[in-house]
Amino acid sequence: MVFDGFHVGEVNRAREVCWYGSGKVLNAAVGVHHLGGTVKVLATLGGDPLAQIDRQFAEFGIPRRWIESRSATRVCMTILDRATGEVTELVENGRPLLEEELVRFREAYAEEVSNAKVAILIGSLPQGTPKSFYRELLQVTPCPAVLDFRGEELLGLLDLKPLVVKPNREELAATVGQSLESDAELVEAMQSLNQRGAQWVIITQGKKPVWLSSTDRVYRLFPPEVAKVVNPIGCGDAMAAAVAWAVGEGHEMVDAVRYGIAAATVNLGDQLACRLDREAVCRLAEGIRVEMQG
């Protein structure tokens, strides 16, 4: 919902309202599609939103496979205040999935990923889902994987050597259980994930430089200046999409992260998440500065 000015405790009339399928899985799929990649989205959906989201993805021409859940898919609201530039999110808690729904998802994932060049596993697990669920998915993943989640779910699968893990700085701190006040502490925490098996670790921190590490290399990449922020929602999803797309196209990881930063930057200037302009992303990626550390 877009407002010329939003005032808490008062009646507010929106200048514009847009309903669309969002959430990290859907955003990442939309991002890869707009970059020109071949993508298939697998997600659990239920209730009235299922038909609406399916219709939207049909219009995009994105192949999809939905695991229908008994519980309705949650509906969240983003409030954009054009007067202040502030973004407010009203988030409905996700509902748990039934065991039979998780089983159907695992079976569908194993089938779909068998033909994939790259897999993106992204977002928090639904309430009540076993923390080992992502590990179970990664165990049947024959291709490189980009992982965008945190905590015990992430630490519990690093021995499977995923290609990329991509928490932000706060999520990394929560995952390793310590504050990361200095860059030295940040790099140490990143490389602790590398030593446990993550081939590459990408750490974002808003408009500040992006960090990238492997067991023996550390880079810092500098995002371009942004003239105007329209909506920051989905920037992390845009980055995950672009990194996966670039890996699938055969780019080295440093260049893949360049594309990821460029995609997140382009996303900032659009009202809807991950409707990425490929030419703009490629143009921005070329100018992103990289410093090797140490």
Residue matched to tokens 């992103």: 288
Give the separation between CA 222 and CA 224, rounded to whole angstroms: 7
pLDDT (0 to 100) of residue 33: 98
Of 255, 277, 258, 259, which Cα lies nearest the Cα of 267? 277
| pLDDT of the residue at 201 | 98
Nearest to 293 by CA among 221, 203, 204: 221
Task: Put the strands of the sheet holding 77-81 in their side by side order.
Answer: 2-3, 77-81, 87-90
> What are the average pLDDT values for consecutive 10-residue runs of the chain, which has 294 residues?
96 95 96 98 97 97 98 94 94 92 98 97 94 98 97 97 97 95 96 98 95 97 91 95 98 98 96 96 97 88
Could you count the other beta carbons within 10 Å of the beta carbon of residue 229?
Answer: 12
Q: What is the pLDDT of residue 63?
A: 98
Interval 56-92: pLDDT, tens: 999 999 999 999 999 999 999 999 999 999 999 999 9
Which pLDDT does position 94 carry in this prediction?
83
* Cβ contact 105:42 at 8 Å: yes
Q: What pLDDT, on the 0 to 100 scale, is given for residue 239?
A: 98
Read off the amino acid at residue 130: P
CA distance linking residue 261 with residue 189, whole number of Å = 21
- How far apart CA 259 and CA 241 sit, in angstroms, is 9
